[in-house]
Amino acid sequence: MSGEKSTVKHAKKHNLKSVAELLGVSVATVSNAFNRPDQLSHDLRRKILEQCSTIGYSGPNAAARSLRTGKSGIIAVLLSDTLEYSVSDPVANQFVKGVAETLQQQGRDLLLLSGKHNHRSSSAEAVPDGFILYGSPNNPEQLERIFRQQKPMITVDCNIAGLPSVNINNLSTAQLSAEHAFKRMPGKIAVLGLRLIESDRVCRIQPHELYGTEQSVSRRRLEGYLAAAKANGRELPAEAIWQIPVNQHDLAMMAAREALQQAERPKVLLCMSDVIALAAMMVARELSIRIPEDLVVVGFDGIDEGERSVPSLTTIHQYSAEKGRVAASRLLAGDLSGDTELACDLVVRGSC
């Protein structure tokens, strides 16, 4: 009633120190019960957690602990693409899976940050203890904000001066795949490239527009294709190279239709991803082009779908999950000098 005083009592909000005094144990013992269970016997930990539950204490405040120690226990992966794309792309997905496996084993958490079209400062950028930069950064302002924090960083599939990296040799592996294709099939070559120039369109490239080899994984793959063509006396002019802005099936089909419906149809199709190669093979079937009798196709990445396709896809298999595990392990260990180059395999299947 309005004239009566409330009899409801608010429960006292406990902290680590008050709980330790109430239970008659040390602050460290209560803390270990929640954060380092290996430091206590099973029975003691269970007893403390039960007592804490009874008094309504759910554990040390994570935010306060982070402020006190300067550590959040979180590692961020800064993606060069949108979050939506990165979680659906099979290669990026496997990479993030490898990072997550290692962080989980070390008791750390994972934060995904997008560098695509993110021009505003985000409070999330200040949270991580370290950063894994995956792919060529798109946002110089965001990168500068992260650099100013002076936290541990490592790059993957890109190179930034002064930072350690985990990569594959994109040039030599692309050259290997192209030379394999050239041995199997004479005739005209076409390249379905990925992010070779700064454009959102599917188009043929202009050489002066190309990203530099230090900026783009795909540019290094193109250099490998060009080296193989030169070594084998094969022509690979700019008008035989298509730019695909995003590694997506529909955009790859658009480029493949243009390439395969030329008056002089290519006989060798070098694709900078398996997603692109599989889309091109679908277009070839629509056009009644036989693979590998009329056209050989080579991909790059080694995604599972390539093995299941008909015919199965010849590709460069890179170990994306292992790339994630190595990058995360190096970052957590403080191994932040020098570059790691991981091996890849040419997997020969039915498409070439």
* Distant-in-sequence, close-in-space partners of 61: CB < 8 Å, separation ≥ 6: 15
**Which is more confidently placed, 351 or 72?**
351
Rounding to the nearest 10 degrees, give the CA dihedral for residues 77, 82, 84, 85: -90
Question: With 50 as the cut, is the pLDDT of residue 11 above it?
Answer: no
pLDDT at 4 over 80: no
CA separation for the pair 17, 169 (Å, rounded): 54
Of the chain, the percentage scoring pLDDT greater than 70 comes to 91
Instruction: Please determine, for residue 310, whether its predicted confidence score (pLDDT) is greater than 60.
Output: yes
Q: What is the CATH architecture assignment of 170-319+339-347? A: 3-Layer(aba) Sandwich (3.40)
The answer on pLDDT for 7 being more than 50 is no
The average pLDDT across 186-200 equals 94
Between residues 63 and 296, which one has the greater pLDDT? 296
166: pLDDT strictly greater than 80: yes
Q: Are 135 and 314 in contact (CB under 8 A)?
A: no
* Separation CA 143–CA 141 (nearest Å): 5
Pick from 268, 174, 162, 179: nearest CA to 223: 174
Percent pLDDT > 90 in the chain is 65
With beta carbons less than 8 A apart as the criterion, state whether 313 and 348 touch. no
Residue 138 has pLDDT above 90, yes or no: no
Mean pLDDT rounded to a whole number for the chain: 89
Token pair for residue 344? 């890849």
**Which residue has 């949108």 as its token pair?**
82
**What is the predicted pLDDT for the residue at 120?**
60
CA–CA dist 164, 152 (Å, integer): 10
Q: What is the mean pLDDT of residues 113-130?
A: 77
Ranked by mean pLDDT, which of 29-33, 51-55, 175-179, 217-221 comes out on top? 175-179
Q: Which of 236, 319, 323, 310 is nearest to 278 (CA)?
A: 310
pLDDT band at 69 (very low <50, low <70, confident <90, very high): low
User: Between 34 and 195, whose confidence is greater?
Assistant: 195
At residue 127 the predicted structure's pLDDT band, cuts being 50, 70 and 90, is confident
Is pLDDT above 50 for 197? Answer: yes
User: What's the topology of domain 16-60?
Assistant: 434 Repressor (Amino-terminal Domain) (1.10.260)
Give the range among 116-120, 240-244, 259-263, 294-298 with minimum mean pLDDT. 116-120
- CATH number, domain 71-167: 3.40.50.2300
The arrangement of strands across the sheet holding 344-347 comes to 203-204, 241-244, 189-194, 268-271, 296-301, 314-318, 344-347
16-60 shares its CATH topology with 71-167: no
CA 272 to each of CA 6, 285, 328: distance values in angstroms, whole numbers, following the listed order: 71, 20, 26
Task: Provide the residue ranges of all domains of the chain, joining segments of one domain with +.
Answer: 16-60, 71-167, 170-319+339-347
Per-residue confidence (pLDDT) for residue 58, from 0 to 100: 82
pTM of the model: 0.79
Residues facing residue 144 across a β-bridge: none
pLDDT at 115: 82
